[in-house]
C-alpha cells in the first residue's frame, strides 16, 4: 500500500537525522527489596535490598528515545565534577551515547534521584541535586559548545528539555534560539514552570495541560474547543512560535499552528506507568519537525508513541518497530 510505503520512508528517514538535546540530565537510581518488618528505631518499614540499578534520566532519556528511533542524539548539559558524573559518563558509554556535549562544573553536583521500592511499592525517593541556575561563565561555555556541535554535527533540530534544575537559563535560551534561526535549525521545547515564558520565537512548544495552565496562570475549560483554540492562538501570537502541541493525558493531544487546529484522541490503552511519556512525545515531535512533516502527522505519531510507552512499567524509550507496526495497523493518515 502507498500509505505503508510513505510511513516506511518516514521511519527510514529518521535514521539520517542528528538531534541536539539541551537540558537537565540526571541519574535515576533504583533500589528494590522486600519488606518483612517495621524498624524498631522509627515507625517505618525496613527494606531489605535485593537489587540495584542506575539509569539515564531527565534530558538523557530523550536522547535514549531519539536513539531508539534510529537517529543520532547529541546531548548537551552540565554535570558536577563528582562520583555521580563518573557514573553518568559510564552510563552514556554503556548506551553508546556521545559525551562531547557534557561539561563538568565544580560548582554543581550531578543530579541523582534514588527510589527505594519495597514489594512493588515506592517507599521513598531521595534527591541529590542543585536547582540554582548555571552562572554566567557556565552558561556561556555551554552555549559555545552547543553552537559548535550544532554546526560540526549538522544538527537537524534542537530540543530544549527543561526540568527546572538550572541547566537551561533565559540567557541560554535567547542565545541558542537566535543562533538556530540564523542557521535555519528548528527548535523544540518541553518546558517547565520557571522558564515557561522565556521561549520566545521557538518553532514548536510542547507543554502538558497542567504546565500550560500554570505557565499562563490561567484556568480554562479545555473540553470546550473554542476556549482551547483561543488560549492557543493568543499564546502563539504572544510568544511568536509556529506550533503549540499540548498533551492532554487520556484525552489525547492538541496541535495548533497558523493553518492547523486539531485534537487527536488518545488510543485505548492498558496504562501501566505514565513516566517518561513526555520524553517520548517530544522526541517524535522533534524528529517529525526535522523532516518537515505536517503538524497533524507529527502530533498523530507523537500521540501514538506516548501512549505505547505508558503500557510499559518504568521509564523506557519507545520501540521503533512496535510504533511502526501500530501506525500501519491503525492506518495512520500521512
Within 13 Å, how many C-alpha atoms sit on residue 72's CB side?
11
Q: Are strands 243-247 and 253-257 parallel, antiparallel or unpaired?
A: antiparallel
State whether the Cα torsion 252-253-254-255 is positive or negative: negative
> Which position among 24, 28, 162, 279 bears the catalytic label?
279
Is 279 a known active-site residue? yes
CB-CB contact of 164 with 215 (8 Å): no
Residues annotated as catalytic are: 279
Amino acid at each position: 500500500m502507498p500509505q505503508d510505503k510513505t510511513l516506511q520512508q518516514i521511519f527510514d528517514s529518521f535514521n539520517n537525522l542528528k538531534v541536539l538535546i539541551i537540558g537537565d540530565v540526571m541519574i535515576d537510581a533504583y533500589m528494590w527489596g522486600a519488606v518483612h518488618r517495621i524498624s524498631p528505631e522509627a515507625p517505618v518499614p525496613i527494606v531489605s535490598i535485593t537489587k540495584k540499578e542506575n539509569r539515564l534520566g531527565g534530558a538523557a532519556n530523550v536522547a535514549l528515545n531519539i536513539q531508539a528511533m534510529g537517529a543520532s542524539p547529541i546531548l548537551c548539559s552540565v554535570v558536577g565534577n563528582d562520583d555521580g558524573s563518573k557514573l553518568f559518563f559510564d552510563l552514556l558509554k554503556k548506551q553508546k551515547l556521545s559525551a562531547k556535549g557534557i561539561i563538568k562544573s565544580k560548582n554543581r553536583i550531578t543530579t541523582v534521584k534514588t527510589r527505594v521500592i519495597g514489594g512493588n511499592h515506592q517507599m521513598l525517593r531521595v534527591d541529590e541535586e542543585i536547582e540554582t541556575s548555571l552562572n554566567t561563565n557556565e552558561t556561556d561555555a555551554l552555549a559555545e559548545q552547543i553552537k559548535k556541535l550544532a554546526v560540526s554535527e549538522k544538527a537537524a533540530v534542537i530540543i530544549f528539555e527543561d526540568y527546572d534544575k538550572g541547566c537551561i537559563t533565559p540567557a541560554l535560551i535567547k542565545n541558542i534560539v537566535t543562533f538556530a534561526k540564523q542557521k535555519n535549525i528548528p527548535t523544540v521545547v518541553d518546558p517547565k514552570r520557571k522558564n515557561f515564558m522565556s521561549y520566545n520565537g521557538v518553532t514548536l512548544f510542547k507543554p502538558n495541560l497542567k504546565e500550560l495552565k500554570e505557565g499562563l496562570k490561567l484556568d480554562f475549560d479545555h473540553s470546550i474547543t473554542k476556549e482551547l483554540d483561543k488560549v492557543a492562538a493568543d499564546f502563539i501570537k504572544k510568544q511568536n512560535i509556529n506550533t503549540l502541541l499540548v498533551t492532554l493525558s487520556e484525552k489525547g493531544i492538541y496541535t495548533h499552528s497558523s493553518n492547523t487546529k486539531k485534537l487527536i484522541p488518545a488510543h485505548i490503552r492498558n496504562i501501566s506507568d505514565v513516566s517518561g511519556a513526555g520524553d517520548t512525545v517530544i522526541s517524535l515531535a522533534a524528529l517529525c519537525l526535522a523532516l518537515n512533516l505536517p503538524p497533524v502527522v507529527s502530533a498523530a505519531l507523537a500521540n501514538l508513541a506516548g501512549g505505547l510507552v505508558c503500557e510499559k512499567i518504568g521509564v523506557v524509550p519507545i520501540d521503533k518497530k512496535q510504533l511502526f507496526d501500530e501506525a500501519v495497523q491503525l492506518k495512520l493518515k500521512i
